[in-house]
Amino acid sequence: MRSTGIVRKLDELGRITLPIELRRNLDVAERDPLEIFTDEDTIILKKYNPADIFTGEMDNLIEYKGKKVSKNSIIELSKLAGSSIEE
């Protein structure tokens, strides 16, 4: 992990502002979703990229009932169910 040398204080609502240079370098736009991770005493922010709920694959995604599923997973699941899907 690299230090940016940037220090920010939380406001009264617990918010921080990410500097514009950091947002530009990481391609984070206004209203982009960020995932929050913790590792002991460390907080990690990561730009959220939806992925297949089964494999983590990020290509050819289809949304079903609020979840992302790849076409490959759908094909594999149809085989498990005894059906076949033609591509």
Tens digits of residue pLDDT in 19-58: 999 999 999 999 999 999 999 999 999 888 888 999 989 8
pTM: 0.57
Please measure the distance between the N-terminal and C-terminal CA atoms of the chain and give it in whole angstroms: 43
Q: Which domains does the chain have, with CATH numbers?
A: 1-48 (2.10.260.10), 49-87 (no CATH)
SS3 of 78, please?
helix
Per-residue confidence (pLDDT) for residue 87, from 0 to 100: 63
Measured distance CA(33)–CA(52) in Å, rounded: 17
> Under 8 Å CB-to-CB from 73, ≥6 apart: which residues?
52, 54, 55, 57
How far is it between the farthest Cα atoms of the chain?
A: 56
